Amino acid sequence: MAILAKQSYESLTEDTAIHLAKELNLFPEHASLSCIEIGDGNLNYVFKISDRITGSSVIIKQALPYAKVVGESWPLTIKRSTIEANALKKHGEYVPHLVPKVFAADEHLAITVIEDLSHLEIARIGLINGAEYPNLSQDIGEYLAKTLFFTSDFALHPFEKKRLAAQFSNPELCKITEDLVFTDPFFNHDSNDYEPELAELVYELWKNTELKVEAAKLKRSFVTEAESLLHGDLHTGSIFAGPAETKVIDPEFAFYGPIGFDVGQFIGNLLFQSIVRTGVKRDMIHTHIRTTWDVFYSTFSELWESHNIEPFSKTEGVKEDFLQKVFRDTLGFAGCELIRRTIGLSHVKDLDGIEPKDQRILFKKRAIELGTTLILNRSQWTSITDLIGRLEEEIS
């Protein structure tokens, strides 16, 4: 929705962001405002505006008309800002405690004004530094189950479900995922990015027809299965976490897609930490993986029993069959995430931050191998214990 007099896009600066905060009446009239740009993501500006008098602050996030990670040569729709604001609001109907509050949004300026969460830290950074986040997997399991159940055909009238699917049509951002997650890493494509020491393994991957057949199936599923309103980019960099609080941010890739994509991206990103850790610190990650799946499964099952409007939902075996399909998808999508973040465009600090180089290469080889195993074995493994068992085998 447009809320400002100005009807055309211009990229904000720290000064104009302060003017905007005043125009939007985000602070009391006599506030003494300061602003810094704190964005370190791939795509957007993030301005933190603070009142020096009261200490209160808000975030103005602005989509740039290009991908910051690459530069102006990669144009990118600013409509993603409206998708993001609407997804935060929609998901916030079901899990208000797990997403930031949205104070305002403007489609022309491509801004979303949200609560400042800087008392929390980005979960990826915290996990790399050894933070435990005791509630993280419980919270994300609940976030996944509730957002994905309540936006699906199991909970919505078919007209409302299809209205939402149309509202959240997000072709440009989906194309990024189709290319960067599902296509480019499986071919010799310019966008790929890997160390020469990985070349042999990467060439083997490109020649692995069995793997490519399975990757093609996963891509097809991503492109065609409009099951629920996904976050669409649920890696650990899209989550703010603290000792007792979790908030999911950045749903600019939101669209109607397969449920297992969100679950798999989160678990896939935890797997990077499984790869780089040892001993009890590694066990802790495995506990997070198990808890995520268990809480997702039990919460989704309870919602199925209590709120499912689909007549087939009471037929014996339908729920179990559906959740088994979600589990299979979860493993496959997690496998794709492991491979793309290791050899494709847009890496993760969990691996790239490892020194010395020999160690980093070893972990990256494990990530490629584990990703391959997940994609290939996703139909044989039927429980989260099968996945944890495979992870534990690796070091025994």
Q: Which residues bind ligand SR1 (CB under 6 A)?
A: 42-43, 67, 69, 176-177, 180, 233, 346
Interface residue with Mg ion, options 106, 107, 227, 250 (CB under 5 A): 250
Q: How many CB atoms lie within 10 A of CB 129?
A: 8
Of 254 and 285, nearer to Mg ion (C-beta) is 254
Nearest-angstrom CA–CA distance, 231 and 262: 7
Compute the least distance from the CB of residue 67 to ligand SR1, in Å: 4
Annotated binding residue 252 = yes
Nearer to Mg ion, 236 or 273 (CB): 236
Cα 225 from Cα 223, distance rounded (Å) = 6
Choosing among ligand SR1, Mg ion, none, which partner's interface includes residue 57 (Cβ < 5 to 8 Å by kind)? none
H-helix or E-strand containing 35? Answer: strand 33-37
Q: Is 321 annotated as a binding residue?
A: no
Residue 180 interacting entry, from ligand SR1, Mg ion, none, C-beta within 5 to 8 Å by type: ligand SR1
Segment near Mg ion (CB under 5 A); pick from 164-172, 211-219, 248-256, 383-391: 248-256
Buried b (16+ CB within 10 A) or exposed e, 354-384: beeeeebbebbbbbbbbbbbbbbbbeebeeb
- Per DSSP bridges, beta strands 44-51 and 33-37 are antiparallel
CB of 184 to ligand SR1, least distance (A): 10
- Burial code (b: 16+ CB inside 10 Å, e: under 16) for 151-181 equals bbbbbbeeeebeebbeebebeebbebbebbb
Closest separation in Å from C-beta 170 to ligand SR1? 12
Structure tokens at 199: 């070349």
Residue carrying the six token digits 């029993």: 305
* Cβ distance to Mg ion smaller for residue 41 or 134: 41
Contact yes or no for 147/94 (Cβ under 8 A): yes
242: which DSSP letter?
Answer: -
Under the binding rule (CB under 5 A), the answer on residue 51 touching Mg ion is no
Binding partner selected for residue 346 from ligand SR1, Mg ion, none, CB under the kind-specific 5 to 8 Å limit? ligand SR1
Q: Whole-number minimum distance, CB 241 to ligand SR1, in Å?
A: 17
- Cβ 176 to ligand SR1 shortest distance, Å: 5
Q: Which stretch binds Mg ion (CB under 5 A): 35-43, 59-67, 331-339, 384-392?
A: 35-43
Instruction: Indicate the burial class of 40 (C-beta count within 10 angstroms; 0-12, 13-18, 19 or more).
Output: exposed
Extract the annotated binding site for substrate. Answer: 233, 340
Extract the annotated binding site. Answer: 44, 61, 115-117, 233, 250-252, 340
